[in-house]
Amino acid sequence: MLAFAAYSAFIVLLFLGSRFLPGIHVEGQPLRDGARLPYKLSGMLLFIVVSALAAAAELLGFRLARVLDHFWSLFWSANVWALLITAYLMARGWRRNPPAGLWDRLKSIWLGAELNPRLASVDLKMFMYHPSLIGLHVVNLAFASQQLERYGTITAEMFLYQCFTSAYLFTHYVREDFMLSTWDIIAERFGFMLVWGDLVYVTFYYSIVGWWVVDRGWTGSGDAAVHEPLSTAALVALVVLHLLSHVLFRGSNWQKDRFKRNPSAPIWGKPPELVGGRLLASGWWGIGRKLNYTGEIGVYITFALCAGLSSWIPYVLPFSLVLLLAQRAWRDEQRCKKKYGELWDAYCARARFRMVPFLY
C-alpha cells in the first residue's frame, strides 16, 4: 500500500508539474487537417527538480536504496496505473467515437482510441514520458545509494553508469521537442501498448543493468568486502565508446529533425545533399540509413559493460534493443519504399548500409 501511495504521488506530482511549471511553448507537427497543436515542454525542469529532490533526500538520510526494497510493489503499482489510465482513455475515447464491435473494442484498448488525448491542457502521450524516464532515473539513482549503503563507497563503474544513464536522459530533455516529430507522437494512438511501455517496460526493465553494477567486482561482505576495479584502460575505452555512440545517436536524430524543419540548413558546415529534394543524404544520413539506431544500441552496450562480464543478464537489455530496432528498421524501410518509391532506391544506392557500415 505504501508503494502504491508513493507511486501515485509521483505520477500526480509530475502531472501537476507538467501543468503548472513553466516550460517551452512549441507547436506540434501538422495534423491531417493542417492544424498544429500547442505543447508546453517542462521536461527538463521536471528532470532537474526530481534530481535535486533525490539528492536532497539522500543527503538528509532518506536513502534512495529504499526504492529498490519496494521494487516489486512499485512494479505492480505501475501496472495498476497503466490499467487505470487505459480505462480512462477508453472511457473518453469510446464516448467520442464508439467502437463498432468486440474486435474494434479490443484493438482500441491495445492501440488506443485517440491520437492526442489531453487532460487539463496536458498532452497525455508526451506527459507519460516523464513518469517513464524520470522514474527510470530515480531507480538508477537508487542503485548508487544501495552500493553506498552496502559497501560504503561508489565504484568507478557505478559512477560511469550514473553518468551514462543521466546523460542519456539529459540529452533527451535538451531536445524534448524532438519527440514531437517521432512516429509515436505523430501517428500512434494512445492505448495500453504505449501506456504500459512507458510506465512499466521502460522504468522497470531498462534499469535491469543497475542490479549487477551494484555488486560488480566485489567479493566478501561488510568490512571484509574487497573491490577489484576495471582497469583504467577499460574505463577509458568505455567512456570513449559511450561518447561516440551518444554523439551518433543524438547527432543523427537531431540532423534529420533539423532537416525536416529547414531542408536547406547546413549539415556539418556544408549545404545538405538531398535525394530528389526530399531525402537527406548528408552527414550521418549519407553514411548509413539507420545509424541513429546503431548509436542507441551502442549507448545501451556501454550501460551493460558497466556491469562487467561476470553475467550475461545485463546484456539482455542491449540485445533486446537490437531485436526491437532491427525489425523496426526493416518495417520503416518498407514504409519508406512505399512512400518515396524510386527516390528511396536512389537513396539506398547512395547510403548503402543500414545500421553497420560494410556489414549490414
Residues found near ligand NDP in the complex (CB under 6 A): 182-183, 249, 253, 256, 279-280, 285, 292-293, 296, 325, 328, 332, 335-336, 339, 347
Which is closer to ligand NDP, CB of 75 or CB of 201?
Answer: 201
Which is closer to ligand NDP, CB of 155 or CB of 203?
Answer: 203
Give the SS3 label for residue 348. helix
| Least distance to ligand NDP, CB of residue 242, Å | 16
Question: C-alpha cell of 56?
Answer: 536532497
Q: Do 220 and 331 contact (CB within 8 A), yes or no?
A: no
| Least distance to ligand NDP, CB of residue 150, Å | 29
Query: 218-219 and 226-227 as β-strands: parallel, antiparallel, unpaired?
Result: antiparallel
Query: Cα separation of 9 and 148, whole Å?
Result: 26
Q: How many helices, marked H, and strands, marked E, lie in the chain? A: 16, 8
Q: Do 93 and 108 contact (CB within 8 A), yes or no?
A: yes
Query: Cα separation of 154 and 156, whole Å?
Result: 7
Q: Do 90 and 117 contact (CB within 8 A), yes or no?
A: no
| Least distance to ligand NDP, CB of residue 294, Å | 9
| Least distance to ligand NDP, CB of residue 125, Å | 14
Q: What is the 3-state secondary structure (H, E, C) of 88-145?
A: HHHHHHHHHCCCCCHHHHHHHHHHCCCCCCEECCEEHHHHCHHHHHHHHHHHHHHHHH
| Least distance to ligand NDP, CB of residue 325, Å | 6
Quick one: how far is CA 97 from the chain centroid? 31
Query: Cα separation of 18 and 130, whole Å?
Result: 9
Question: C-alpha cell of 325?
Answer: 530496432
Query: Cα separation of 337 and 256, whole Å?
Result: 18
Which is closer to ligand NDP, CB of 10 or CB of 293?
Answer: 293
Q: Where are the beta strands (DSSP E) in the chain?
A: 24-27, 38-41, 118-119, 122-123, 218-219, 226-227, 274-275, 279-280
| Least distance to ligand NDP, CB of residue 89, Å | 21
| Least distance to ligand NDP, CB of residue 347, Å | 6
| Least distance to ligand NDP, CB of residue 233, Å | 29
Question: C-alpha cell of 273?
Answer: 545533399
283, amino acid identity = G
Which is closer to ligand NDP, CB of 121 or CB of 182?
Answer: 182
| Least distance to ligand NDP, CB of residue 3, Å | 25
Which is closer to ligand NDP, CB of 124 or CB of 280?
Answer: 280
Neighbours of 292 (CB within 10 A): 22
Quick one: how far is CA 215 from the chain centroid? 25
